Amino acid sequence: MTLIKIIEIFKKKLNTSILKPLEKAADFYSESKNDSNINGPGGFKKNSPYGSPARNFAKSPDSGNASRNVEIPFIKLTDVWKIYQMGEVEFAALKGINLEIYEGELLVILGPSGSGKSTLMNLLGCLDMPSKGTVCLNSKDISELSESELAVVRGQMIGFIFQSFNLLPTLNTEENVLLPMEFQEEDRKTARQKVSYLLEIVGLSDKKKNLPSQLSGGQRQRVAIARSLGVNPPIILADEPTGNLDSKTGDYILDFLDGLQKREGKTIIIVTHDLELVKYATRIVYIRDGEIEKIETHPKNEQSMKNEQSMKNERGTKNEINLN
Ligand SMILES: Nc1ncnc2c1ncn2[C@@H]1O[C@H](COP(=O)(O)OP(=O)(O)OP(=O)(O)O)[C@@H](O)[C@H]1O
């Protein structure tokens, strides 16, 4: 059970009070693997437009038993433009983005304010459509999906840790985390158990009944993280995940995301201004004025090394440099 391995990492860094809940969570997910009502790690519900487990969704038909697909991009953007119309004036927030993201990467997107990071994130999260170009999720053009199929993809494939993705103000902590599971028609008893474990993981067991207005900014961020992990999505999109947090909690959350990428093979995409986050990245995409300025590969990251060959085929490699 891979969460147990995550705990091994935490053991070196955290005090024992936080370990017990994590171990319980690991047991829970371990048990969940045999429970048909629950998505196991990378699990995928029957009503998916793709109708297959997320891991299989992530694999090409001929990828055999390889745990990760390093040949076919999980997400591929081809000549993506986003043009906003403001009266008579058009504004291009993204200008011909080409980017391939592979399963199991931890991609950090860095750029100054107004460079197009959130716009890009909205496209990656299937929350918006490009004005021109294509966004493919496992080789499927998202613009060809119906609204209901997109909702399923967003609900099951993608966990959002967005500051603008506000918690519902009238729901308490527990109910906010429960909500996406209810949309997925998760068995209520199982869902409540999951909520309980997730809130322990993020250290909010004592805040279950608090409304968002009765939580600090950092605590609200942790509720959002618990909520995003509830349906165990293969992709996690995080917009400034440490933005509201003190440095200790921020480090804890980043280590947690890092563990999910390394041990669970989740694909994690983080948008940030914070250069500190670069150390967790398999690759860093620098964006400026709606264009990719350069992409750096982190050679010390194991997955990045595995992906290296595949990435060589990526468009825009002329800008790619290695950090040594
Ligand atoms: N709905 C919109 N209509 C018009 N222009 C928009 C719209 N949304 C974003 N923009 C413009 O697109 C550009 C990119 O915005 P975006 O929010 O993606 O930047 P960002 O890199 O996320 O910035 P920040 O780090 O400040 O959040 C900005 O110049 C912004 O003003």
* Residue 208 backbone phi and psi in degrees, to 5: -55, -35
Q: Which residue is closest in CA terms to ligand 1's atom 14? A: 116
Q: Which residues line ligand 1 (CB under 6 A)?
A: 84, 86, 91, 93, 111, 113-119
Q: pLDDT tens digits for the chain (324 residues)?
A: 444 444 454 444 443 444 444 444 444 444 443 333 323 323 323 333 222 223 332 333 233 333 556 678 999 999 999 999 989 999 999 999 999 999 999 999 999 999 999 899 999 999 899 999 999 998 999 999 999 888 888 888 898 887 655 788 999 999 999 988 877 666 888 889 989 998 998 889 999 999 999 998 778 888 988 888 887 889 999 988 877 677 877 787 788 788 888 888 889 999 988 888 888 899 999 999 999 999 999 865 555 445 444 544 454 443 333 333
Predicted interface score ipTM higher than 0.90: yes
Q: Which residue is closest in CA terms to ligand 1's atom 16? A: 116
Q: How far apart are CA 45 and CA 285, in angstroms?
A: 32
Residue 277's Cα: distance from chain center in Å? 15
Domains of the chain and any CATH numbers:
103-129+146-309 (3.40.50.300)
| Predicted local distance difference test score (pLDDT) of residue 89 | 94
Ligand 1 atom at minimal distance to the Cα of residue 271: 22
Q: Which 8-state DSSP code applies to residue 61? A: T
Per DSSP, the three-state class of 54 is: helix
Q: Which residue is closest in CA terms to ligand 1's atom 5? A: 84
Query: Would you say 184 and 231 are in contact if contact means Cβ atoms under 8 Å apart?
Result: yes
Query: Would you say 98 and 316 are in contact if contact means Cβ atoms under 8 Å apart?
Result: yes
Q: Radius of gyration (Cα) for the chain, nearest Å?
A: 19
| Predicted local distance difference test score (pLDDT) of residue 16 | 41
Q: Which 8-state DSSP code applies to residue 210? A: -
Ligand 1 atom at minimal distance to the Cα of residue 273: 25
Tell me which of 82, 84, 165 to substitute to probe ligand 1's pocket, judged by most ligand atoms within 8 Å of the beta carbon. 84
Question: Global pTM?
Answer: 0.72
Query: Would you say 285 and 314 are in contact if contact means Cβ atoms under 8 Å apart?
Result: no
| Predicted local distance difference test score (pLDDT) of residue 97 | 98
User: How many angstroms separate the alpha carbon of residue 135 from the centre of ligand 1?
Assistant: 19
Q: How far apart are CA 269 and CA 119, in angstroms?
A: 14
Tell me which of 85, 108, 117, 286 to substitute to probe ligand 1's pocket, judged by most ligand atoms within 8 Å of the beta carbon. 117
User: How many angstroms separate the alpha carbon of residue 119 from the centre of ligand 1?
Assistant: 6
> N- to C-terminal Cα distance for the chain?
33
Nearby residues of 52 by Cβ (< 8 Å), 6 or more positions away: 44
User: How many angstroms separate the alpha carbon of residue 275 from the centre of ligand 1?
Assistant: 20
> Would strands 132-137 and 75-86 be described as parallel, antiparallel, or unpaired?
antiparallel
> Would strands 132-137 and 140-141 be described as parallel, antiparallel, or unpaired?
antiparallel
Nearby residues of 51 by Cβ (< 8 Å), 6 or more positions away: none
Ligand 1 atom at minimal distance to the Cα of residue 119: 18
